[in-house]
Amino acid sequence: YFLSILNEIEGVHLNGSLDTSIPYVLNLWFEGVDRGEVLVHMLEEENLFVSTGSACHSKRDNPSHVLKAMGKDGEALYGAIRVSFSVQTTKEEAARGAEIIKEKVREYREFKGGL
């Protein structure tokens, strides 16, 4: 459900595969978003908490070694965010999170000069 809403955003990409990814964790990047940490802070303002890397590397400024190994670079490497869910996350919470991400990606792109 979350991904169906995000698919309404032009230029959204899933890093990895739903078939091989860990349940409840998605790594995404959006064309035109070149600094994931800026998007993270924009989302925090709406009480939506995501990250730019894995939990075990959350204090590091380096881009994800996993994304590097996947051959990602540029926006896909530096603009990626990680969205985690819980078994307690409701459909309504996921939908609201997706809507917030849509709005903040739009604002980011407008600020940067569009997609």
Q: Name the residues annotated as catalytic.
A: 56
Phi/psi for 19 (5° steps) reads -70, -30
Give the dihedral sign, CA 47/4/57/108.
negative
Both tokens of residue 73?
């670079």
Residue type at 46 in one-letter notation:
E
Give the integer Cα–Cα distance in Å for 67 and 82: 12
User: Rounded distance, CA 36 to CA 28, Å?
Assistant: 10
| Structure token digits, residue 56 | 């075990």
